[in-house]
Structure formats: C-alpha cells, structure tokens
C-alpha cells in the first residue's frame, strides 16, 4: 500500500512560494500572436473596468501607434509622464521606472514587454523594468507577442524568415500570475492592416508582403495557442499541488506502461503506443528496481531491450527504486498526473496469486481514480533465446555452502549441549537463525530459503525428542517448527534485501563519485585536447573498455581527438557512425538498430546549442552498455563533456570577441582622436608656411610670428607622436625603466622648464622638502610624467589660477602632488580619466589634447611599482597624486 500523505518537501516549497508572492506584485500578460490583434485595446478595456471598481490604476507607458480607438480608451486614465532620452540626435520617449516607483499605484499598465530601452535608461530591457516594479510590490499588466518568447526565437525565424531581436526570457513568461489570450483570425488581422488600423498604409503594405503573410500568421497563431495551453496545464498542476490532491485531474490524458523482464511487456508497450497515438497523449515506460541493485543479469538485459523498444516508439523511460512495486508505480503516476496505466499479465497459477500475491492485483486495488488496463499475454519460451538473453543459472556452490553452514551450526549446537554451555532449545534455534542470516548475507535469498528449511529439519532430527527421527512426540513442537521456519524465511528475506540495497547504494555511490570527479576535472581544464583526453581516460576506466572521441570540424567531417590507436578508430564503420550521431543527435552503433555492425556504441556530445561531436565506447558485451543504468551513466558523461567543450569554445569566442572589440575601440578612438590632433597642428603649419611663401613682402614681426607658429605646432606634433610611441612601448613592455638615482627637485625643474610656455599665464608654486631621499627611477620617464600632469593642468585650468607642486614622504613611498584651482573633475570620472583617449568635459583649449597624457602617467607610475590617482579638492580644483615606492636605506641629499 502506498503512502498517500502529501510530500513534505512539496508543502514546504508551496509555503515558501506563497510567502514570496505575498511580498511581490502580480503580473498579467495580454498575449497574442502578432501586432494588431488587440492586446493593448483589451488591456485598456480591462483597466477601465478595474478603475470603475475603485482600483488605483495608472498608465505607465502605452504605445497607441496612432490608433484612434486605443487613444480614446486612454482618456480618463491617469498617465505618468514619459522619460525623454536623446539618442543619436533623436528624442525618444521611454517608460520612467523611477516615476512609477515613486507613485507606487496598485496597478500599472506597461505596454510592449519585449521593448529594448534606449541607452541611458537604468535597464536594457523593459521586462527588467517590470521585474523591478513587481519586486516593489506593484501589480503590472503588460502585452506580449508569441514571437518575442526567447525559446521560440529560432522557430519564428524559420517560419517567417525574420529574426526577432527583442526577446523576453521564458522565465518571465512562465512566472506570470495570469495570462489572457487575445485572438482574432488571420483574415480579420489582414483586413485591419489594409484598413490602416495597425500601421500607416505604407508600413502596412510592407508588413503584408513580409511578416504578415497568411501562412506566417496561421503558424504564429498555432504557436500562441500552444504556449497558452502549456501555461494552462502548468496552472492546473499548480492548483492540484496546492490542494494536495492525491488523485490525478484528468484534464488531459497521460499514459504509463509498466516494464518488466516478462516477454509480455513488448506487447504492452506496443499497445500503449497505439493508445497514446489515438489519444494524442504523452506516455512513459517505467520499471521498478526493488533491490536498488542494477547489473548485467538476464532480467536487466531484458528490461533494457524493452526500454529500447519503448524509446524507439517515442516513450519517456524511467527507472524507479522502491520496496513495493505497485506503490512505487502509483506514487510516480500520481506525481505526473497519469490518467491511464497499462500493465501486462502472463499466465500464472491461481494458487501462486493467492499465496504470494500479484502486482497486477495490488495496482488494481490501490489505483483509485487512475484507469488500469491489464494486457493479457502468453509465456513465450523461445523469446528469451531469440533476444539474446540466457535463462537464469543456478549456482549450486551456494546451496552446497548453505548446507555446510547449517551442518556447522548443528555441530556447534551439539558441542554446546555436550559441554552444557547452551543446552536449551532456544539457544539452539538462535544458532540456526544466525546461520540462516549469514547465508542470506553471503549467498542470497535462494540458498537462504533452502537453509531455512534445512535448519528446521536439522533441529527436529537432532535436537527434538525422539532424537534422530522426524517424528514429533510433543505436538507443541509443530508450532515451534512453524515459527522457526517463518522467522528464518523472514530473516533471510530481509538480510538478502539489505545486502542488495547496500550493494546498490555502493554502486550508485561509485557512479556518482565518478561523475563528480569527471565534472570536477573537466571544470579545471581548458582546451579540446585536454578535455577529451581527461574524459576519455575516465570513461575507459569506468567501463573497462576502449573509448574514442570524435569532434566535429569546420569542414563538416569529424576527426578522432582521442583514441587514435584504438580498434574503434581503425574500424571502417566508425567514421560514418560518428557522422550520423552528430547529425541526428541520437545514439547509434553496436547493440542498436542504427549501424549495428559498428564495433562501439556511439553517443552524441550535446551542448546547449548544438552537437559538438560523438564519443564511442567499446566493451566485449555491447548489450551491457544499453542497460538503463549504464546508459544513463554514459549519457551523463557525454553531456558533461559536451557542455565542457561548449564552455571552452564559448570562452575562446568571448576572448576573441573582446580582443576584437577592444582593438576596434582603440582603432576608432585613435583615428577620431589622433586624426584631429594631427590635423590641427598640420593645418596651422600649412597655413603659416603658405603665407610665408605667397607673401614674401611681409614685415619682420609678422614673419617671426608665422615662424614661431610653425615651430610651436611642430613641437606640439612631436609631443603627440612621442606620447603615442611611449604609450605603445609601455603597453608592450618593450621599454623597461632605466633606473638610476635621481634628485626629485631636478626632475621637477626640468619638467617646469619644458612646460614654461604652457604655464606662463599661471602662478606655479613648488614646495619640496629639503631632506627628501634620492629616487631610484628612470629620470626621463618621471620627467615625462610631470610634463603630462602640468600640461593637463594648463589645459583644464583657467588662466591666472594657481598650480601647486608638493611632495612628502608617506611611509615607504613618496607622495608627489600636482594640484590646481580649476573646475575639478566631473562626477564619476576619477578613474576613467586614466583610460586611453578619454577626455572629461574639456574646455575649448583642452580639446586639443589626445587623451593619452594621463594614461601614460599611470603606465609610467605602475612601471615603477607605484600608481597615480585623482581627486577633487574640497575647496575646488583637481589634485593628482603620484605614489612611488622608496628604496630602503636610500641616500639623502640635503638641498640648501
């Protein structure tokens, strides 16, 4: 009898979900198959009705698309102001999520759930805005078309030939609390399109020629119905679990066929297939492992063949573990909302059914509201031979050992009687029961049953008067014999079952450990060669056979990546088998109906997006690999390897894409920044030189001014090129610092001299302590660092203000500061200003910089083991702090 109490884990999950829902708003989606079916119209109609019921309804964002009837429904509803965002010179209207959070209505309408927000909004997608509203406890109504569901993206592309860029995750669709399907026929939609009720006439005509073709609309409509039906089915299952219903709700048929080693099972499976096809219902094939021990015995091989037949006919195969076959099957059936169970019944003597019971009778008695179909079959003695399954063999050695063990227990009891150590009949019975328990543990149930009968006979013959005869003088001993036999049989059954369960647990533990070790090993490796080598060696160790791994190549022909010297790789059928498996994403090879003449079983290496290759496993007995447990183990290993290979490839693609994007960004920045910076001095040089050539009669002062312009712009151009070359050397590490002992005052003085022209209109103050230690640095690089900081200060600071240079010893480093009294740094730019080609709100003169100066400063400082940071002064202005490590016991030079 199955335990019909509710599952405590399900109850806990239900309570937790209800608690989470109490703090979260509800989501209702008005769902359709295309634009124009009336989703927004229906949402607004329902909103007006909700407002009439005194609900606090606010329109967050609704796109009427110029439809008068939709705009009319907006009258009288409170609407939040839209957020205007500038994008490439165009003003876009977006949903203002902050205004919605501040207003916090009971219900808000947000149209077009799949919309992509413009740059500058907090979230990239509108469904993320809706998620934030729901988490804030606001109820949301929204609209969505079927083509925007993420998992259907490729299907929609195949049907319509249009790739939909705006998608919504399936999770967002699945967690919606309510779904309302808005539908009209494709003919009505096309009429609305031609009438200009969906798009303006020009757009409508283009839409009809491309996306809004009638075959496309019909297919999209079917997809929307299927998605709505799937969602309704999920709601039914949720409602059934909330009511803790133990019986299925027959909202739709679902079949379950019981699979066992009996030849009748094949007939039951075929009957289930015909019934499922007639009912258009899903079906499962279920087997129950009573002992918890799986292996390669004849019964398991027969079950594996039946599972293979069921899978070929389209069933889902499941192996359950339990102690009660009928109870385990019914518990699973109720959890999956199964409405019909098919089970086979072979010819069996009636007395066996009354004495030992029948699984069929147990299922019929406990099935409740589930319909049970009993398929009668005859025993087919030739089927086992034709299917390659040998009959069960009797291990006589175990029966001989059990006989010897009972004899030993009898001798031991005799010795105890002679020595008067344990001469009571109860102690003798305990000795025989101990022997039976030991036999059950060592030899199994059959020998233990034989030992139980033998122990009762030995006890009667040797230890019950009259001795050495089976005659019983006292009728009370008959009860003793019966109880002793019952206890012995019970102990033997429980002990053998416990042994089988322990062995099964150990087997599953070893396989789980092997999968864990394989996954751990694959997660720490990178590169196809290392991944397939690690997985191949591990799977070969688990199966005790040969393994070869084929990976798909860009040419379309797979190549052996592991097991080059194996018999698998040398066999002529292996390559076609690998190609077939990769192309069809199905198992093939030895023991299957596809390419059975292959020497190995081929399994696909399936990633989340495509099949990456195939793994081939060869063992002497290929049927062993098709056993349900062994096949699941191999499929798990193949899936882990497939995901690892996909992860590795995605990492490579991401790295290449990142490098390409960075290169493109640098190239674009370099072209945009340097082209302007090169063009400006070149234009000045060209203008001055052409004036000198075309007007030779210029006065001396004008000529001198023009020549000075040429000299200044040439120097500026030279500095720009030096910065670019210096930055490239620092990035490449091709210019290590030439460290020598230097005096900081000399480096600062040289930098001030080089920037005297730029700083002539500023008040520069220098405060350096007289007892600073010598710096072990590259003097030219540090001078360049100071020049760049001073030039930066002159560009971003108004003329007439002060620029201060200070230095101090701070622990084990030198703190060198360049500060100004300018406008300071914009908020959020304290780190970005050190990026290449970045300029923070430049003034007119600052725009002449290349955006490389501060990046070079930081690169120079880090090349010396230090750093450069920037901050705003509390009183205004910017401060650049250079920290350089000091060498221990550095010499000091006192400057007077």
The pLDDT value recorded for residue 30 is: 94
Phi then psi for residue 276, to 5 deg, are -65, -40
- pLDDT of residue 896 exceeding 60, the answer is no
548-562: buried (b, 16+ CB within 10 Å) or exposed (e) per residue? bbbbbeeeeebebbb
The pLDDT value recorded for residue 317 is: 86
Separation of alpha carbons 8 and 787, rounded Å? 73
Separation of alpha carbons 555 and 579, rounded Å? 12
Per-residue pLDDT tens over the stretch 683-740: 778 888 887 787 777 788 888 888 888 887 787 777 667 766 665 666 555 567 888 9
- pLDDT of residue 626 exceeding 90, the answer is no
- pLDDT of residue 381 exceeding 50, the answer is no
- Strand positions, DSSP E, 239-394: 255-258, 283-289, 316-321, 340-346, 371-377
Lowest mean pLDDT among 180-194, 308-322, 432-446, 838-852: 838-852
| Residue 301: strand, helix, or coil | helix
CA distances (Å), origin 895, targets 711, 713, 771: 36, 37, 7
- pLDDT of residue 741 exceeding 50, the answer is yes
Phi then psi for residue 452, to 5 deg, are -65, -45
657: DSSP letter: H
The residue among 156, 160, 149, 163 whose CA lies nearest residue 211 is 160
Which alpha helices (H) appear in 60-185, and where do they start and end? Answer: 68-74, 97-103, 126-135, 153-160, 170-174
| Residue 144: strand, helix, or coil | strand
CA distances (Å), origin 287, targets 135, 302, 332, 343, 367: 44, 11, 11, 11, 17
| Residue 369: strand, helix, or coil | coil
Lowest mean pLDDT among 84-88, 594-598, 664-668, 706-710: 664-668
Residue % of the chain over a pLDDT of 70: 82
Find out whether 803 and 762 touch, Cβ atoms under 8 Å: yes
Q: Which residue has the higher pLDDT, 613 or 458?
A: 613
Separation of alpha carbons 285 and 306, rounded Å? 9
Q: Which residue has the higher pLDDT, 660 or 168?
A: 168
Band the pLDDT of 523: cuts 50, 70, 90.
Answer: confident
**Quick one: angle between helices 214-242 and 8-22, nearest 10?**
110
Token reading at 830: 């304290």
Band the pLDDT of 746: cuts 50, 70, 90.
Answer: very high
Write the Ramachandran bin of 800: left for phi over 0, alpha for psi from -120 to 50, otherwise beta: left
Separation of alpha carbons 605 and 590, rounded Å? 17
CA atoms within 13 Å, Cβ hemisphere of 717: 17
Cβ count within 10 A of residue 761: 11
Angle 410-411-415 from CA coordinates, rounded to 5°: 115
| Residue 603: strand, helix, or coil | strand
Phi then psi for residue 297, to 5 deg, are -70, 170
**Quick one: angle between helices 700-732 and 628-694, nearest 10?**
160
Band the pLDDT of 422: cuts 50, 70, 90.
Answer: low
Separation of alpha carbons 766 and 804, rounded Å? 6
The pLDDT value recorded for residue 28 is: 94
Please give the average per-residue pLDDT across 40-49, as a whole number: 92
Q: Which residue has the higher pLDDT, 631 or 6?
A: 631
The pLDDT value recorded for residue 386 is: 35
Q: What is the mean pLDDT of the chain?
A: 80
The pLDDT value recorded for residue 256 is: 94
3-state helix, strand, coil in the chain (%, to 5): 55, 15, 30
Find out whether 883 and 860 touch, Cβ atoms under 8 Å: no
Find out whether 539 and 634 touch, Cβ atoms under 8 Å: yes
Separation of alpha carbons 703 and 694, rounded Å? 12
- pLDDT of residue 608 exceeding 90, the answer is no
Spell out the residues 6+ positions from residue 323 whose beta carbon is closer than 8 angstroms to its own.
290, 497
pTM given for the model: 0.47
- pLDDT of residue 419 exceeding 60, the answer is yes
Q: Which residue has the higher pLDDT, 237 or 483?
A: 483
The residue among 890, 855, 833 whose CA lies nearest residue 723 is 855
Find out whether 99 and 132 touch, Cβ atoms under 8 Å: no
Please give the average per-residue pLDDT across 39-47, as a whole number: 91
Lowest mean pLDDT among 195-204, 331-340, 598-607, 741-750: 195-204
Distance spanning both ends of the chain, measured CA to CA: 102
């Amino acid at each position: 009898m199955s335990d019909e109490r509710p599952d405590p884990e399900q109850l806990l999950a239900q309570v937790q979900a209800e608690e989470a829902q109490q703090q979260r708003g509800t989501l209702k989606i008005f769902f359709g198959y295309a634009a124009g079916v009336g989703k927004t119209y229906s949402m607004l109609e329902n909103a007006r009705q909700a407002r009439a019921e005194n609900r606090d309804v606010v329109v967050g964002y609704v796109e009427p698309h110029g439809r008068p009837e939709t705009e009319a429904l907006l009258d009288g509803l409170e609407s939040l102001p839209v957020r205007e965002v500038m994008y490439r010179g165009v003003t876009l209207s977006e949903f203002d999520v902050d205004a919605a959070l501040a207003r916090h209505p009971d219900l808000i309408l947000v149209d077009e759930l799949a919309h992509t927000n413009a740059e500058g909004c907090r979230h990239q997608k509108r469904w993320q805005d809706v998620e934030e509203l729901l988490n804030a406890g606001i109820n949301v109504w929204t609209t969505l078309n079927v083509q925007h569901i993420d998992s259907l993206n490729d299907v929609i592309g195949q049907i319509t030939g249009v790739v939909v860029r705006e998608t919504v995750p399936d999770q967002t669709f699945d967690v919606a609390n309510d779904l309302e399907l808005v539908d009209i026929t494709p003919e009505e939609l096309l009429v609305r399109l031609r009438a200009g009720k969906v798009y303006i006439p020009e757009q409508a005509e283009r839409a009809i020629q491309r996306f809004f073709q009638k075959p496309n609309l019909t297919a999209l409509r079917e997809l929307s119905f299927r998605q709505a039906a799937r969602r309704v089915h999920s709601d039914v299952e949720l409602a059934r679990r909330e009511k803790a219903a133990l019986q299925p709700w027959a909202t739709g048929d679902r079949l379950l066929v019981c699979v066992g080693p009996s030849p009748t099972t094949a007939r039951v499976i075929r009957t289930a297939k015909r019934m499922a096809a007639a009912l258009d219902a899903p079906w499962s094939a279920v087997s129950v492992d009573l002992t918890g021990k799986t292996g390669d015995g004849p019964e398991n091989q027969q079950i594996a063949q039946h599972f293979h037949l069921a899978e070929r006919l389209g069933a889902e195969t499941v192996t359950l573990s339990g102690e009660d076959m009928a109870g385990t099957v019914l518990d699973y059936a109720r959890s999956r909302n199964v409405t019909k169970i098919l089970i086979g019944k072979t010819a069996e003597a009636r007395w066996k059914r009354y004495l030992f019971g029948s699984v069929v009778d147990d299922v019929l008695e406990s099935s409740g509201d589930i319909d049970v179909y009993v398929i009668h079959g005859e025993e087919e003695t030739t089927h086992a031979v034709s299917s390659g399954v040998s009959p069960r063999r009797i291990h006589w050695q175990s029966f001989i050992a059990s006989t010897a063990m009972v004899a030993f227990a009898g001798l031991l009891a005799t010795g105890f009687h002679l020595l008067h150590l344990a001469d009571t009949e109860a102690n003798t019975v305990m000795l025989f029961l101990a022997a039976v328990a030991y036999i059950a543990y060592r030899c199994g149930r059959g020998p233990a049953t034989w030992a139980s009968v033998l122990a009762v006979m030995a006890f009667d013959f040797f230890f019950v008067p009259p001795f050495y005869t089976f005659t019983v003088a006292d009728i009370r001993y008959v009860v003793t014999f019966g109880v002793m036999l019952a206890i012995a049989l019970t102990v033997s059954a429980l002990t053998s079952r416990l042994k089988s369960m322990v062995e099964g647990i150990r087997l599953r533990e070893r396989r789980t450990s092997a999968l864990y070790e394989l996954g751990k090993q694959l997660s720490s490796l990178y590169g196809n060669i290392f991944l397939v080598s690690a997985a191949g060696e591990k799977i070969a160790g688990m199966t005790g056979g040969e393994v070869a791994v084929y990976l798909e190549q860009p040419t379309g022909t797979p190549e052996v990546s592991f097991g080059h010297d194996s018999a698998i790789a040398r066999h002529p059928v292996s390559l076609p088998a690998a190609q077939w498996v990769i192309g069809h994403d199905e198992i093939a090879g030895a023991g299957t109906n596809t390419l059975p003449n292959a020497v190995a079983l081929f399994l696909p290496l399936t990633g989340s997006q495509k099949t990456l290759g195939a793994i081939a496993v060869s063992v002497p007995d290929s049927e062993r690999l098709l056993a349900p447990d062994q096949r699941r183990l191999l499929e798990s290993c193949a899936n882990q390897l497939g995901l690892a290979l996909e992860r590795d490839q995605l990492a490579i693609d991401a790295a290449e894409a990142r490098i390409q994007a960075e290169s493109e960004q640098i190239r674009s920045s370099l072209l945009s920044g340097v082209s302007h910076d090169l063009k400006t001095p070149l234009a000045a040089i060209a203008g001055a030189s052409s004036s000198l050539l075309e007007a030779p009669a210029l006065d001396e002062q004008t000529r001198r001014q023009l020549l000075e312009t040429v000299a200044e712009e040439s120097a500026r151009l030279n500095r720009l090129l030096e910065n670019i070359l210096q930055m490239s050397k620092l990035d490449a590490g091709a210019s290590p610092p030439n460290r020598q002992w230097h005096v900081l005052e000399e480096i600062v003085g040289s930098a001030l001299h080089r920037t005297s022209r730029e700083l002539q209109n500023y008040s520069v103050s220098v405060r350096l302590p007289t007892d600073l230690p010598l710096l072990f640095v590259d003097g030219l690089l540090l001078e360049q660092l100071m020049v760049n900081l001073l030039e930066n200060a002159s560009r971003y600071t108004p003329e007439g203000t002060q620029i201060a240079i200070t230095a101090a010893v701070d622990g084990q480093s030198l703190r060198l500061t360049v500060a100004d009294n300018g406008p300071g740094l914009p908020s959020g730019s304290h780190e970005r200003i050190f990026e290449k080609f970045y300029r923070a709100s430049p003034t007119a003169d600052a725009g002449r910089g290349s955006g490389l100066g501060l990046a070079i400063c930081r690169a120079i400082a880090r090349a010396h083991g230090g750093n450069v940071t920037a901050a705003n002064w509390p009183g205004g202005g910017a401060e650049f702090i250079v920290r350089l490590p000091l060498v221990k016991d550095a010499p000091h030079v006192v400057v007077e």
